[in-house]
A and B are shown apart, each in its own frame.
Chain A
């Protein structure tokens, strides 16, 4: 396999969990809810996804377990922030702390176990086309799912009526409520979608990225996904670009070590995090004319009847 091909394949694999988690959070934030618990939902997705796959021997059931774990976690968040009107920032942090603890508890019995990694697509003839074949037709299934997901979200948000209503809730929940839309119910669904995506993104790590589970294996990817949503200015198209850029930075960091560049490995490992800070600063600075964030993002809404 050519080096270029290998690099592109690994970039796609590193980007996919970021893209899936960020897509979910994009929808959540577009409805006006800031869920900082992505990291916690992801790590639960990773632990439950691995547990499911190991117990059943099926990658698909593993992925489903990850999704269910993400949804359950997001429901706790929805109950707190939408049901009880609790501060979203604090609740999101709580969700991450809980997720890290619970995933350690669930995953403890599976540390050191291995599973077969998710199968890669293999189409006769097509996959064997030099250069493009393996990159376009030879990925694991979730890479295609992630792309379908973001296209579907773009179509939903900009081409359907429910998508328009969801964006309206995010921009002005008082008006949306006055027009008779069930703001809290719509937001609950958006939060659950975000949870499902984060759970799937977390499950991607032990199911397709590495064939084993270690505690804390998300390593801040949930937070990077949150930063990507800011990076994308809450737009699906830019989210894809951002996710692949960050995937590339992660892989660059791995390859740089292999190429024997004389920089300590820890400095290279810090790259994705430093890149996130720099990107956030540059983008926020470019946007001084006014924020593109949904206007009601992070604010509590209690309908008065």
Chain B
């Protein structure tokens, strides 16, 4: 028995729409099996993961809070991936943005600095993220160094740099020797939207980013160039589009968004700079970008869905003692199914048996 792929004459738009849903369905089936292997009741576990967080207001706010950085980073990554530039160091750009923005918060701590502090933090964080992302982009266009490896190496460097700052120069003297800065002043904090809740202004910024990306990709020449360079590099060369310039541009945008997400997370839900401010947002955002089909609206939905898995994972841990790593396994399996189902858009699968009997598996 052999699996054979046949190229479709044209891409199947029906499958393009339903393939993320098929992927989610297959992931849930696989997870049920995993839960059973772990000795947990799959139905109860799935309920804890996917239904319980949707039933109370607090969890719904938490989902929006978790989705905020995921969506912002994934929007930037989707621009890179559309232009065939492989930025996988968003985690590092996120951390550097958090560090750069925190610098202002730390330096103005306890002074009566005015309302300019938070805007300045956001701007500096975005600039720092963009600059950090430009390192692999420029190494790629100038020297041909693989941006995949260089952007990833810089994640470890950013992580160690943050670690150095919070254990050394920026450590809170009153922090009982914990590696953390002092709590940010109110002027250096992202305001919450609902009194007493955790939903904050960053979520609005994320929605604006989604809208801006939709306009950029759907309504502008630059967006068209990005899509053509990625989808048909030869045609793009004939069209006179500069692929290198687009690598630099998309890396800068995605770095800026990751940096912005970093400072919003630190100055918002976390409230101070410390190691472990990201549970792998930069990597999970890669899944969000693909699950959302590299489309801004798709990414918004995918970001909410993956945020649900984070919150559900925490609740399942508390309620059913399911290890937190199950969430990462879930996300990894989901990405596999998303990619596998995408294959159906371009190909038909057939099973060929040695006795030349051909069975069609999917239309």
Contact = CB atoms under 8 A, between A and B. Distances in A.
Partners in one complex: yes
B329 A101 contact: yes
A270 B157 contact: yes
A277 B160 contact: no
Interface string B306-341: 000000000000000001011111111101100110
Given A89-B86, A97-B283, A288 B336 contact: no
B149 A302 contact: no
A100 B335 CA distance: 14
Contacts of A99: 332
Contact of B287 (A89, A97, A227): A97
Interface in A225-269: 226-227, 230, 264, 266-267, 269
B148 A36 contact: yes
Contacts of A287: 144
B146 interface: yes
A86 interface: yes
Interface string B281-317: 0010011001000000000000000000000000000
Interface string B180-207: 0000000000000000000000000000
B33 interface: no
B338 to A, nearest CB: 9
A302 B7 contact: yes
A38 to B, nearest CB: 11
Interface string A291-305: 100000000001011
Contact of A267 (B86, B160, B333, B346): B160
Interface in A88-139: 89-91, 93-95, 97-102, 104-105, 108
B143 interface: yes
Given A91-B339, A93-B286, A270 B161 contact: yes
Contacts, number: 147
Contacts of B142: 285
B206 to A, nearest CB: 22
A69 to B, nearest CB: 14
Contacts of A151: none
A142 to B, nearest CB: 25
A85 B139 contact: no
Given A90-B290, A285-B144, A266 B139 contact: no
A305 B156 contact: no
B4 interface: yes
B24 to A, nearest CB: 15
Interface in A25-42: 36
Contacts of A219: 156
Nearest to A98: B332
Interface string B340-356: 10110011010000000
B149 A98 contact: no
B339 A284 contact: no
Contacts of A90: 286, 290, 335, 339
A91 to B, nearest CB: 6
A201 B198 CA distance: 44
A280 interface: yes
B347 A101 contact: no
Nearest to A291: B144
Contact of A277 (B154, B161, B330, B333): B154
Contact of B325 (A76, A105, A270, A283): A105
Nearest to A108: B323
Nearest to A109: B323
A269 B164 CA distance: 11
B60 interface: no
Nearest to A227: B149
Contact of A284 (B7, B144, B323): B144
Contacts of A98: 328-329, 332-333, 335-336
Contact of A102 (B3, B146, B332): B332
B145 interface: yes
Given A97-B287, A266-B160, A87 B152 contact: no
Contacts of A277: 135, 139, 145, 149-150, 153-154
B139 A281 contact: yes
B134 to A, nearest CB: 13
Contacts of B88: 93
Interface string B48-83: 000000000000000000000000000000000000
A59 B142 CA distance: 47
A230 B7 CA distance: 32
A220 B326 CA distance: 21
A288 B143 CA distance: 8
Given A94-B287, A108-B323, 9 more contacts: A89-B86, A89-B148, A90-B335, A94-B332, A99-B332, A101-B331, A281-B139, A283-B145, A304-B7
| Nearest 5 CB-CB pairings of A with B | A101-B328, A98-B332, A104-B325, A266-B164, A101-B329
10 contacts: A89-B148, A94-B287, A97-B328, A223-B149, A230-B149, A266-B161, A274-B157, A277-B135, A277-B150, A277-B154
